[in-house]
Amino acid sequence: MAAQATGRRRQRKTRIVATLGPATSSERMIRDLFHAGVDVFRLNMSHGGHSDKESMIAAIRKVEAEEMRPIAILVDLQGPKLRVGTFAGGRASLRQGTAFRLDLSEAPGDDTRVGLPHREIFDALTPGTHILLDDGKIRLAVETVSADAAGCRVEVGGILSDRKGVNVPNAVLPLAALTEKDKRDLAFALKAGADWIALSFVQRPDDVAEARKLVAGKAAVMAKIEKPAAVGELDAILELADGVMVARGDLGVEEPLENVPVIQKHIIGAARAAGKPVVVATQMLESMIQAPSPTRAEVSDVATAVMDGADAVMLSAESAVGEFPVEAVRVMDRVAERVEREPGYLGAGQTRINPNATAEDAITAAARQVAATVGAQAIVTFTTSGTTALRAARERPAAPILTLTPRLKVARRLSIVWGLHTVKTRDVVSFEDMVGKAKRMALRHAMARGGDRIVVTAGVPFGTPGATNVLHIAWVQGNELEAVGS
């Protein structure tokens, strides 16, 4: 990826994640989605096979090379999804107040019972535990439990069909964080060069630790917060994960719906305080699966996530199987850009994060303040590991952030982070080289013009990961681009 190319710079700071699927698997659609505003492509391992994903990844990398902009690939593992067995006739009717049994039998179910092929669940159940079926549409209360069955009472009835999902909101289930399928999918994703790995149904910090051990630094790890147990362990999970996702689908099943907006704000605030990227996902523009325009409520939902300071907002079925995937991305792009133009955007609902008592945080916080004071047109960060750039984004400065890194892998990972325009370029070797490159790249990427000021942060010695100890104010001259080198 040539440093000389300007590439496509987003005018908004909030990033867009789009899920690829049958509606958007072609190279042409991936290119159209990128042009519409996608920064990160999500591959959902719950659907399709490895060959499908291989062709998607190849198309993404081709578009990346053409556009000369780093694009992140997020592989979302299925996780230990719990499902009931099958029914004679494919479905059963559960009536309120009647008895219903979950057991380990593989025999087809009926109106009185069905198989639940997860022995470990019965070990975690106690009388009084509630079990939700089919995304919470059906609610059971456990009355009796044995090693291989649970006798329940139907509190909310309905029609239950084959292999519908099971949620147990108030229990930490003794399930492995990664299933055998997840491990196969993870090996595939790492070999294919995925930038982010998303973990589904995280319950405890150990789940993240197990995944990090397997990933071994080859990708960044994102914990999906979709269970009450994970909300309760959020700080510990954030310490281990590289980022988090507010996965509102299952979270809205296991938590009362009125709790979800408050939890979303809490997760965004905690992630920002930790300096970790946070993605808000699920049903953001749900009506656009079948309609060319969203509802007003959906637009407000996207706007709220942007206003709260989320790093990224995500499309799921809207872009994977929807009839209007490109239009959905354009709506997100317009909404985010409009919200960010509001004069009070960075203050409305966004808590100012106090820097930690470290030299690195002090320099980064000062960069935001200095840029505002002197009217700098951009903050330029040099980073080897991405840490300096993450600190800069954590401050949520009004000035755009130009991030320069010699590592393509780092540039791709940072594509999901708020406000960063990341460029892969040669590393610098001296202070004079740093200042000169910062000015040239700010000009080349239209983030400054002759006569403008920029604020530069870096770590010395150059190339030392995580060390941010230099802050410099530089004047940009119109002839900087005439200098040799990039």
Catalytic residues: 42, 83, 224, 282
Query: 68 burial class (0-12, 13-18, 19+ CB within 10 angstroms)?
Result: middle
Contact 382, 462 (CB under 8 A): yes
Cα–Cα distance, 235 to 244 (Å, whole number): 11
One-letter amino acid of 386: G
Cα–Cα distance, 8 to 13 (Å, whole number): 13
Angle between helices 325-340 and 27-36 (to 10 degrees): 20
Which residues, at least 6 apart from 353, have a Cβ–Cβ distance to it below 8 Å?
272, 273, 394, 395, 396
Tell me whether strands 158-161 and 166-167 are parallel, antiparallel or unpaired: unpaired
Token pair of 301 as six digits: 């939902």
Query: CA dist 412 to 75, 319, 401, 417, Å?
Result: 13, 21, 15, 10
Cα–Cα distance, 38 to 54 (Å, whole number): 19
